[in-house]
């Protein structure tokens, strides 16, 4: 709360109060917040208007859908890549080739392949989370000490039992770190894809508000993106803490 307060106080002083050079071009914080919470906003968008929630719903739906697909596919491929060296030898070179390519570079190809703008936006959002999830999951599996695999085999564990009781629990800390990063990647890639291919959504509205010099509306959408990203990451952290509560007990017992 202190860090957030310092940020908004700096914004208020630099723009609203002293109008410091260059910062004076930014929208005033007081005006933006008044517009955000106004029942009758100047540019027609506030937390009291239907249009605001239409854009919010469009973006949130795309992020959730793309994130779930990315997690489902990325975790499976990541586990196989970390656990099976033949699978890793086949997939890793292709993944390492595709992973550094930014989302903006994929836009023309995705638009050509996808049947609609909506599917193109979801596909671009998916790509950003997909590679992050694979990499962190693979690193999580490969970080497991080989002694656990030998112990499981000596106890007669099947490969399915090793996957369930050794691989997945051992990789979970890395997986959930990757999911937090992947969720953030979903939100910022969503904005880029909505600007280019979207017809609704928070990112689309950011660009439209800038184009029509509605800077206060632009600030409202940017703040909403930040709040959504923060909440979604917090949900993933809580879910991770719940699923890995055994880890805290184990570490506590060791200590």
**Each residue of 215-224: pLDDT tens digit?**
999 999 999 9
Q: Which residues of 98-116 are buried (b: 16+ CB within 10 A; e: fewer)?
A: eeeeebeebbeebbeebee
**pLDDT top residue among 192 and 41:** 41
CB count within 10 Å of CB 27 equals: 19
**For residue 249, is pLDDT > 80?**
no
Q: What's residue 245's pLDDT?
A: 82
Q: What's residue 188's pLDDT?
A: 86
Q: Which residue has the tokens 């390519």?
A: 101
CA dist., res. 130 & res. 186, Å (int): 9
Are 81 and 87 within 8 A, CB to CB?
Answer: yes
Tokens standing for residue 224: 């909403």
CA dist., res. 222 & res. 138, Å (int): 33
Using CA of residue 134, residue 140, residue 144, residue 146, what is the dihedral sign?
positive
Provide mean pLDDT across the span 232-252.
Answer: 81
**For residue 25, is pLDDT > 90?**
no
**Each residue of 67-86: pLDDT tens digit?**
999 999 999 999 999 988 89
SS3 content of the chain, % helix, strand, coil (to 5): 80, 0, 20
Are 144 and 167 within 8 A, CB to CB?
Answer: yes
**Each residue of 102-121: pLDDT tens digit?**
888 998 899 899 988 899 99
> Which residue, 17, 34, 63, 7, is CA-closest to 182?
63
Q: What's residue 196's pLDDT?
A: 80
Identify the band that residue 254 occupies on the pLDDT scale cut at 50, 70 and 90. very low
**For residue 42, is pLDDT > 90?**
yes
CA dist., res. 126 & res. 72, Å (int): 11
Helix axes 117-142, 168-197, angle to 10 degrees: 160
pTM of the model: 0.89
**For residue 61, is pLDDT > 50?**
yes
Q: What's residue 115's pLDDT?
A: 87
Identify the band that residue 3 occupies on the pLDDT scale cut at 50, 70 and 90. very high
Mean of all residue pLDDT scores within the chain: 91
CA distances from 48 to 21, 28, 214, 223 (A): 34, 20, 17, 15
**For residue 251, is pLDDT > 60?**
no
CA 81 to chain centre: 22
CA dist., res. 246 & res. 169, Å (int): 10
Identify the band that residue 250 occupies on the pLDDT scale cut at 50, 70 and 90. low
Q: What's residue 128's pLDDT?
A: 87
Tokens standing for residue 21: 């050079």
Q: Which CATH class is domain 37-254?
A: mainly alpha
CATH 1.10.3720.10 occupies which residues in the chain? 37-254
CA dist., res. 143 & res. 174, Å (int): 9
**Each residue of 147-179: pLDDT tens digit?**
999 999 999 999 899 999 999 999 999 999 999
**Each residue of 196-208: pLDDT tens digit?**
877 899 999 999 9
Q: What's residue 252's pLDDT?
A: 52
CB count within 10 Å of CB 254 equals: 6
């Amino acid at each position: 709360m202190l860090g957030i307060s310092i940020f908004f106080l700096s914004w208020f002083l630099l723009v609203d109060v002293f109008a410091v050079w260059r910062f004076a071009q930014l929208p005033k914080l007081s005006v933006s917040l008044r517009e955000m919470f106004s029942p009758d906003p100047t540019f027609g968008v506030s937390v009291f208007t239907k249009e605001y929630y239409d854009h919010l719903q469009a973006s949130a739906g795309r992020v959730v859908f793309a994130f779930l697909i990315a997690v489902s596919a990325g975790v499976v491929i990541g586990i196989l890549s970390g656990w099976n060296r033949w699978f890793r030898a086949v997939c890793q070179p292709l993944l390492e080739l595709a992973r550094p390519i930014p989302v903006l570079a994929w836009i023309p190809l995705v638009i050509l392949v996808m049947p609609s703008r909506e599917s193109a936006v979801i596909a671009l959002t998916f790509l950003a989370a997909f590679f992050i999830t694979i990499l962190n999951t693979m690193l999580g599996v490969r970080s497991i000490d080989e002694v656990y695999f030998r112990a499981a085999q000596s106890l007669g564990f099947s490969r399915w039992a090793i996957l369930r009781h050794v691989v997945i629990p051992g990789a979970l800390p890395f997986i959930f770190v990757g999911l937090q990063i992947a969720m953030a990647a979903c939100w910022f890639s969503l904005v880029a894809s909505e600007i280019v291919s979207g017809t609704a959504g928070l990112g689309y509205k950011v660009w439209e508000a800038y184009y029509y010099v509605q800077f206060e509306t632009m600030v409202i959408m940017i703040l909403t993106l930040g709040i959504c990203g923060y909440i979604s990451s917090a949900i993933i952290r809580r879910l991770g803490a719940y699923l890995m509560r055994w880890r805290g007990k184990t570490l506590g017992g060791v200590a």
